[in-house]
Amino acid sequence: MATDVAVLKHGEVAEKVMNQSNGLGCCKSGPGYATPLDAMSGPKETLLYVTALYSGTGKEKPDYLATVDVDPNSPTYSEVIHRLPVPYLGDELHHSGWNSCSSCHGDPSADRRYLILPSLVSGRIYVFDTKTNPRSPSMHKVVEPEDIISKTGLAYPHTTHCLASGDIMISCLGDKDGNASGNGFLLLDSEFNVKGRWEKPGHSPLFGYDYWYQPRHKTMISTSWGAPAAFTKGFNLQDVSDGFYGRHLHVYSWPEGELRQTLDLGQSGLIPLEIRFLHDPSKDTGFVGCALSSNMVRFFKTDDGSWSHEVAISVEPLKVQNWILPEMPGLITDFLISLDDRFLYFVNWLHGDIRQYNIEDPKNPVLKGQVWVGGLLWKGSSIVAIAEDGNTWQSEVLEVQGNKLRGGPQMIQLSLDGKRLYVTNSLFSAWDKQFYPELLQKGSHMLQIDVDTEHGGLKINPNFFVDFGAEPDGPSLAHEMRYPGGDCTSDIWI
């Protein structure tokens, strides 16, 4: 019975009373920046931390955190300069977050020192010290899955955000057996000890994945990938029909953890993955990328205080031959919003393009830039697209520094000033193997896209190419990217 009580325990989020001037917590002594616009004037990035995997590739090697030099004035520009392997095999490192970010800017005792990196498959959570030596991070602590499961019942950890209280919250996608019904939100304290679940008993979502909170509107909204027992085996369309994938947004009271509303996105919102509010903490709207439907859905607060949604951007499927379906969705797997809330960027992992939209009017996004960096329709592939006139077509195979691009654009990260977009191409090892098996043999790569923030436009930087196919232990899969000082997908303003 003691274990059952612990599983149902609601870890209270302690509220700190911060010294605030102008209501934004800008005492300028805590981590991050007082406002998103202040962050845009932050220092230019020189390092990127990248999760790199051997899990699922057939290589008996541990996953690792790669440090990439992105300083164009450095002799090791566009190279992996440090690798920190984890001590176990089969983790599947995925998304990361900080122990402290701009949500703690008003707290002089807070310090952005540790990068928290959950393992999506093993359930293990690694804590890396990135402050002692930013170019060579070190292992600080490992939170074992047995401890998490025994106290909360949670497994398959995904998104990490720091809280103004000093706690760390991590969304978890299921229970130890891969059932979605066991999903919820894990709370760690500032020493990375398991506190319990964040949501109140009986208030767990239908499915788990990403989340974002907007404290001024006392709201947190989470998204729905699917049951780990299904997606860890690869993608099967029948699993969608059988109810193993989500199509809902879950609206919670913040910070109380009560599920107040569930938004059914229907067929236009199948598999909603990444979610972002606008960075301006006073705004009550944001977007979610719905992968299988290939729609960007806008969510917003209504006059009566409830939340609603509408399709803001649609990516039309391509008619194709020699593929698993007669039509190929774009598969929007990642997106982000510039810190000034002017531009939204997203990827179509299967089609192979990255898009830039002006969202100064969030109700009416305007396409301003598009660049092709991969996809399934390269010349030489058996898959061909069918145009409206019945003719077939394929794309030219692009090269950067003599390297043929492979896979499709997947994770993206934007520089603070909004002028450089970094791109990797691994989604999840089981899905990489299914859709882009070449990645397992030749490895991932990272690109840099130059961004025109005045008139709009995207262009591949020909001087930047990080080849994870040339790693010392063999080709690896590169996924999420983080700057040491925070970025537009890690930091939340209050």
Per DSSP, the residues of 56-79 read: TTT-----EEEEEE--TTSTTTTE
Q: What residues contact residue 59 under an 8 Å CB cut-off, 6+ apart?
A: 473, 474
Residue 167 within any structural domain of the chain: yes
Query: For residue 23, is pLDDT > 90?
Result: no
Query: For residue 10, is pLDDT > 70?
Result: no
CA distances (Å), 4 to each of 80, 117, 124, 206, in order? Answer: 45, 27, 21, 20
Query: For residue 140, is pLDDT > 60?
Result: yes
- Classify residue 19 by its DSSP letter: -
- Residue 334's nearest CA partner among 216, 239, 210, 455 is 210
Residue 16 within any structural domain of the chain: no
Query: For residue 394, is pLDDT > 50?
Result: yes
Residue 7 within any structural domain of the chain: no
Confidence bin at 2 (pLDDT 50/70/90): very low
**Number of domains the chain is built from:** 1
Query: For residue 19, is pLDDT > 50?
Result: no
Residue 329 within any structural domain of the chain: yes
Residue 430: φ, ψ to 5°: -65, -35
SS3 annotation, 85-126: ECCCCCCCECCCEECCCHHHCCCCCCCCCEEEEEECCCCCEE
Query: For residue 14, is pLDDT > 60?
Result: no
Bridge partners of 272, per DSSP, are: 290
Are the CB atoms for 393 and 375 separated by under 8 Å?
no
- Distance from C-alpha of 310 to C-alpha of 345, rounded to nearest angstrom: 18
Tell me the three state secondary structure of residue 421.
strand
Residue 357 is part of which domain span?
40-482
327-351 pLDDT, tens digit each:
999 999 999 999 999 999 999 999 9
Amino acid letter for position 58: G
Query: For residue 25, is pLDDT > 70?
Result: no
Residue 6 within any structural domain of the chain: no
- Across the chain, mean pLDDT equals 94
Q: Using omega within 30 degrees of 0 as the cis cutoff, is the peptide bond preceding 255 cis?
A: yes
Query: For residue 352, is pLDDT > 60?
Result: yes
Query: For residue 1, is pLDDT > 60?
Result: no
229-242 pLDDT, tens digit each:
999 999 999 999 99
Query: For residue 26, is pLDDT > 50?
Result: no
Confidence bin at 15 (pLDDT 50/70/90): very low
CATH code for the domain of 48: 2.130.10.10
The arrangement of strands across the sheet holding 211-214 comes to 211-214, 219-222, 248-253, 259-264
Are the CB atoms for 46 and 74 separated by under 8 Å?
yes
What burial class does residue 300 get, using C-beta atoms within 10 Å of its C-beta: 0-12 exposed, 13-18 middle, 19+ buried? middle
Query: For residue 39, is pLDDT > 70?
Result: yes
Query: For residue 12, is pLDDT > 80?
Result: no
What burial class does residue 68 get, using C-beta atoms within 10 Å of its C-beta: 0-12 exposed, 13-18 middle, 19+ buried? buried
Are the CB atoms for 128 and 115 separated by under 8 Å?
yes
What burial class does residue 146 get, using C-beta atoms within 10 Å of its C-beta: 0-12 exposed, 13-18 middle, 19+ buried? exposed
* 458 phi-psi bin (left φ>0, alpha ψ -120 to 50, beta other): beta
450-461 pLDDT, tens digit each:
999 999 999 999
278-315 pLDDT, tens digit each:
999 999 999 999 999 999 999 999 999 999 999 999 99
Residue 31 within any structural domain of the chain: no
Confidence bin at 106 (pLDDT 50/70/90): confident
165-217 pLDDT, tens digit each:
899 999 999 999 999 999 999 999 999 999 999 999 999 999 999 999 999 99
Question: What is the percentage of the chain residues whose pLDDT exceeds 70?
Answer: 94
Residue 240 within any structural domain of the chain: yes
Tell me the three state secondary structure of residue 150.
helix
Q: What is the pLDDT of residue 3?
A: 36
Residue 22 within any structural domain of the chain: no
